[in-house]
Amino acid sequence: MLQAERLAIGYPDFVLARDIDLEVAPGEVLALLGPNGGGKTTLFKTLMGLLPAKGGRVALNGEPLTALSRRAIARRLAYVPQTHAPPFPYLVRDVVLMGRTAHLGPFDAPRRGDHVAVMAALKLLGVADLADKEYTRISGGQRQLVMIARALAQEAPLLVMDEPTASLDFGNQTLVLREVRRLAARGYGIVLSTHDPDHAFACATRVAVLHRGSLAVQGPPQEVVTAELLRAVYDVSVAIQHLPSGQTVCVPDLSA
């Protein structure tokens, strides 16, 4: 679904990272770890075509990103931002309806099928009861689920999520991570960024670590996310523990 080969990312006057190779297939969750300022958001913007690549190539379903129109990209890739603050108190159903833009012409009004897609996305995430509530008056976790619903209404098979659990409380983080796993089980390809290694253990099939200008390592979380790696990337001492439930967690050493 998504491929990047020898990709270099950055801005007009400098390269932030280079030689990035990654791919995301249907049903996979690729979690991107890395310190603040390491280039995770810049990488996402480049994968979506919002920033031009400084080198290498990005392809969606085998077609070069540079050969696709914005509408074609939007039908293959949907974005879930870290935060979203609309300028008006839109109803939740209207926020999700914005995801249908890729399927409408410049002067088209939403049709019945578009409204059906909106409600189907809200029902899938268990928040259909919020449809007629003001988006600005629901909780942070609910807003994030609405953002995911907007991406699903876009009917793109690939989801790019920029720190989807940022600023959420523990319960809402769990809610979002559970939905990520469910969407992958339904065949969506997902790439998400996170600062929490536990989230990678919880929902990722693969992990990539962006550090010091390149992908330092990439592979299954149980193999990639080690105490040595986290110490090198974040400069903290941690212990990786395997619980009887089968879960793996990262425990920081606060005495170090």
DSSP-assigned states of every residue in 134-193: BGGGS-HHHHHHHHHHHHHHTT-SEEEESSTTTT--HHHHHHHHHHHHHHHHTT-EEEEE
pLDDT at 43 over 90: yes
Q: Return the number of other C-beta atoms located less than 10 Å from residue 173's C-beta.
A: 21
pLDDT averaged over the chain?
91
- In this prediction, residue 116 has a pLDDT band, given cuts at 50, 70 and 90, of very high
For residue 209, which of 229, 184, 238 has the smallest C-alpha distance? 229
**Does residue 233 contact residue 213 with C-beta atoms inside 8 Å?**
no
What does the pLDDT average to over 140-150?
89
Paired residues of 17 in beta bridges: 9
pLDDT at 139 over 90: no
Share of the chain above pLDDT 90, in %: 66
Mean pLDDT, residues 93-97 taken together: 96
The whole-number average pLDDT for the span 148-162 is 93
CA 13/CA 206 separation, integer angstroms: 32
Residue 161: φ, ψ to 5°: -120, 120
User: Any idea which architecture 1-76+157-225 has in CATH?
Assistant: 3-Layer(aba) Sandwich (3.40)
Does the pLDDT of residue 154 top 90, yes or no?
Answer: yes
Q: pLDDT by residue (tens digit) across 161-178?
A: 998 888 778 888 888 898
Over residues 11-29, mean pLDDT: 93
**246 has pLDDT over 70:** yes
Tokens of 15: 């390269």
In this structure, the strands spanning 2-11 and 55-60 are: antiparallel
- pLDDT of residue 86 exceeding 80, the answer is no
User: Which of 151, 147, 156 lies closest to 187 in space, CA to CA?
Assistant: 156
pTM for the predicted model, two decimal places: 0.88
> Distance between CA 26 and CA 8 in Å, rounded?
24
Q: Is the pLDDT of residue 91 over 70?
A: yes
| Cα-based torsion angle of the residue sequence 206, 51, 141, 146 in order, rounded to the nearest 10 degrees | -110
Sequence ranges of the domains in the chain: 1-76+157-225, 83-155
- Does residue 256 surpass a pLDDT of 70? no
Most confident of the ranges 81-85, 168-172, 234-238: 234-238
* pLDDT on residue 217: 85
